[in-house]
Amino acid sequence: MCGIVGIIGKENTTDILVQGLEKLEYRGYDSAGIFVTGKNKEDHLVKSLGRIADLQSKITPEVQGTVGIGHTRWATHGKPSERNAHPHTSSNHQFILVHNGVIENFEELKQEFLQNKQLEGETDTEIVVQLIEHFAEDGLVTKEAFKKALTVIKGSYAFALIDKNDPDTIYVAKNKSPLLIGLGDGFNVICSDAMAMLAETNHFVEISDGEMVIVKADKVEIEDEKGNVVYRESYEAQFDLSDIGKGTYPYYMLKEIDDQPTVMRRIIREYTNTLGDAVIDKKIIEKLTASDRIYIVACGTSYNAGWVGKAILEKMTNIPVEVHLSSEFGYNMPLLSEKPFFIFLSQSGETADSRQVLVQITELGLPSLTLTNVAGSTLSREADYTLLLHAGPEIAVASTKAYTAQIAVLAVLAKAAGDNKGNQLSLDFDIAHELSVIAAVMETIIDEKMTISQLVEDYLSTTRNAFYIGRGVDYYVSMEASLKLKEISYIQAEGFAAGELKHGTIALIEEGTPVFGIITDQKTAAHTRGNLKEVESRGAHNVVIALASFAKETDQLIIPDVHPLLTPLVSVIPTQLIAYFATLQRGYDVDKPRNLAKSVTVE
């Protein structure tokens, strides 16, 4: 949420900042801005409401410098406007600041320190830059004024600060919000996500919460809270520029849907051996199998993947699994079992709601595992163990390949744990083979784009609302299918347990209401068909997505059979494409839906 870039020590600063912001646009896209300056150079502050392209159109050729910071915003405090866009400047224009996060005590800070300051906008960030100026006016040098501000601020932040009287330095600090330093030859960069600066460098250094970093063109100095210098190795980014391009695709989402068979094959390579066994760090399996209950904690699409994970883990390990929303768990922690094991699911590894749960359970001394797509992300660093999703960068705001990768990695984990416990179902389960069948079936469905596009035209072109229904794992996929549809096409969609409709929600069915039924489970197929009949009798227009074994000739989408434990990996694919085409046909931006941003780093 919100993206930060910065560079010091290069001539083409403006271009680098803008290109970096374009790569970070997925993190927020309601307004943007840059500040560039340099020794004996003029200062330039350019801000714009809207997207990076809008900002770009306001940048004139004289906007040049050798040091600069930039920001793309997802509004929290203060509506999207040019005034509220970052960078923010202090009253005397000496300090310029960009911020990602939320300052919780900004009202108190305003009252205590800034009564005499004229504030321009409504953001919490402006309070911080004024606070730095206030402490500098008290006689502190910039670094100390910044440090002092950090001691009184409560909340989450990643900051990059320039003192225009000393344009040889960018001051950086973070707490709970992501920020990286990228190392170059004669220059250095900062960014919220490595992909923003991959064109400049692929060597990055992580910053820990509470540290301050002094970034100069030729050196980077990290200090801990006590002022001690910290030495930290850099790491090499695991992907390159070609991984983060759209290629010939019109949208990232379509590319990412199409990527899924490749991701399945990559997961087979990463997590199974030539005998077809699951290969997972023994320590993880020992901790997991020693537990008496598994708690899966996640948000949004990852939460929906968690429910499918529960179904697989319980069958393979016989350990009960609970699935929780991070934002609820953090403040209403359920009674825990005696030996709990926590699994955090997070594509980005940065979701603040999930992180606050991880912090709490770590304080309780409980074991944790993060499944994430981003190596080195906060949830990965702070959990006891990590399993990477290997899905490749996911850039479309609507998550697709991370969902299926999470389920596939959970299945591998379940297989390794089940084998360890001698569970017969697990011992008989050839995970490498079954996932390769999944990859092939995914390809078959992906090839049906024209059919799916036509279905969308027939059933969703004018509707205001829609339902997905199913039972068991088909219900779990219905939850994800409806989230996907509503978040990008703005059709009000609900995923419902098919048998529960008649207990109230069926009242919403009217003439022409589209109802998508998902049928992949022998036990429940007939019952879901019964529920579909009930809504049809009340005017619904039904579309059935069924596994071949349980399909009828009249079903609109028939999916080749796969292993019964893994059906969500294939039944979700048509629903992703349905969301994609519904959005396209309604003329909305598929990759950047309104009000949203990827990587939700505020609670």
Residues lying near ligand F6R in the complex (CB under 6 A) are found at 299-302, 346-348, 351, 354, 398-399, 483, 487, 599-600
Which residue matches tokens 């402490």?
A: 135
The dihedral over CA atoms of 501, 507, 509, 511, expressed in degrees to the nearest 10, equals 150
Q: Which helix (H) or strand (E) holds 363?
A: helix 352-363
Measured from the CB atom, the residue of 319 and 397 that comes closer to ligand F6R is 397
CA separation for the pair 400, 255 (Å, rounded): 10
Q: At closest approach, how far in Å is the CB of 227 from ligand F6R?
A: 34
CB-nearer residue toward ligand F6R: 34 or 297: 297
- Measured CA distances, 379 to 174, 360, 440 (Å): 15, 13, 32
In this structure, what token pair is assigned to residue 380? 């990965």
Query: Which of 142/327 has CB closer to ligand F6R?
Result: 327
| Of 222 and 488, CB closest to ligand F6R | 488
Between 98 and 579, name the residue whose CB sits nearer to ligand F6R: 579
Report yes or no: 308 and 477 within 8 Å, Cβ to Cβ. Answer: yes
Q: Which residues are catalytic?
A: 2, 598
Distance CA 66, CA 463 (A): 53
Least distance CB 485 / ligand F6R (angstroms) = 11
CB 244 within 8 A of CB 198: yes
Q: Which amino acid is at 282?
A: K
Helix H or strand E segment including 385? strand 385-388
Nearest Cα to Cα of residue 565 among 447, 473, 455:
473
Identity of residue 100: N
CA distances from 527 to 113, 236, 356, 499 (A): 65, 52, 40, 8
Cα–Cα distance measured from residue 573 to residue 233, given in angstroms and rounded to the nearest whole number: 41
- Cβ atoms of 287 and 367 closer than 8 Å: yes
Shorter beta-carbon distance to ligand F6R: residue 207 or 299: 299
Q: What are phi and psi of 182, to 5 degrees?
A: -105, 135
Q: Give residue 443's Cα distance to chain centre.
A: 25
Q: Cα angle vertex 503, ends 498, 504, to 5°?
A: 105
Query: Closest residue to ligand F6R, Cβ-based?
Result: 300
Question: 3-class secondary structure for 32-78?
Answer: EEEEEECCCCCCEEEEEECCHHHHHCCCCCCCCECEEEEEEECCCCC
Pairwise CA distance, residues 296 & 304, whole Å: 11
Assign 469 to helix, strand or coil.
Answer: strand
For ligand F6R, the closer CB: 96 or 298: 298
> Which residue has 């390990």 as its token pair?
317
Q: Cα–Cα–Cα angle for 364, 365, 371, nearest 5°?
A: 105
Could you give the angle at the alpha carbon of 114 between the alpha carbons of 112 and 120, nearest 5°? 140
Give the residue from 226, 76, 354, 359 showing the smallest Cα distance to 374: 354
Q: How far apart are CA 260 and CA 547, in angstroms?
A: 19
Strands 212-215 and 220-223, how do they pair? antiparallel
Nearer to ligand F6R, 202 or 301 (CB): 301
Please identify, using beta-carbon distances, which residue of 301 and 542 lies nearer to ligand F6R.
301
Q: CB nearer to ligand F6R: give 48 or 354.
A: 354
With respect to ligand F6R, which residue has the nearer C-beta, 175 or 346? Answer: 346
Mind giving me the DSSP string for 133-173? HHHHHTT--HHHHHHHHHHH--EEEEEEEEETTSTT-EEEE
